[in-house]
Amino acid sequence: MPTILQPEKMQTEASEEGWTKTILADLHTIGTSAIVAHRWSFEPLAHGPQKKHNNTDQLLYIISGSGAAQVNGDRLPLEKETVLWLEQGDVYQFIAGEHGLEVLQGYAPGG
C-alpha cells in the first residue's frame, strides 16, 4: 500500500553546528526497515558529523547547493545533482559551500 508522509509528520534532528537531518523513511515512518532515507540540510560553510556505515552501501544525491564530501581522507567536490556512492565502511563528512548544501541519503540497512 502506498504511503505518503507529510512534512509535519517527519522527525527532524538539528544541531548547533548548522545542520539538520530529517528522517524521510525508516521502520518507524513507513513500517519497513528495507530502506532508510534522510534529508540533510547544511547552513553555509557548516560541517556535518563524521559518519560511517559498516554494513551497507549508500547513495547520496545533492538536491541543492554545493560543498564537499570528505571521504576516507579525500575531499570530493559536490554540486547540485551530483550523485555520490559510498561503500560500506567509508568514513565521510559533508562540508557546505557558501550557499549551503542539501543532500538526500538513501541506503538499505545491512545485517
All cell numbers assigned to 35: 530502506
Q: What is the pLDDT of residues 77-111, one digit of tens each?
A: 999 999 999 999 999 999 999 999 999 999 998 65
Residue 67 lies in a domain: yes
d(CA 33, CA 24): 12
SS3 26: coil
- Please give the pLDDT value at position 57: 95
State the residue range of the domain holding 34: 12-107
All cell numbers assigned to 78: 559536490
At residue 1 the predicted structure's pLDDT band, cuts being 50, 70 and 90, is low
Q: What is the pLDDT of residues 34-72, one digit of tens each?
A: 889 999 999 999 999 999 988 899 999 999 999 999 999
The DSSP secondary-structure symbol of 86 reads: E
Instruction: State the CATH number of the domain containing residue 90.
Output: 2.60.120.10
Average pLDDT over residues 8-17: 82
- Please give the pLDDT value at position 71: 98
All cell numbers assigned to 96: 557546505
Residue 4 lies in a domain: no
Radius of gyration from C-alpha coordinates of the chain: 14
Q: How many domains does the chain have?
A: 1
Residue 26 has pLDDT above 90, yes or no: no
Does pTM top 0.85 for this prediction? yes
Residue 55 lies in a domain: yes
Residue 70 lies in a domain: yes
Residue 3 lies in a domain: no
CA angle 49, 18, 16 (to 5 degrees): 85
C-alpha closest to that of 52 among 6, 22, 86:
86
Residue 54 lies in a domain: yes
Residue 7 lies in a domain: no
- The answer to whether 57 and 88 are in contact (CB under 8 A) is yes
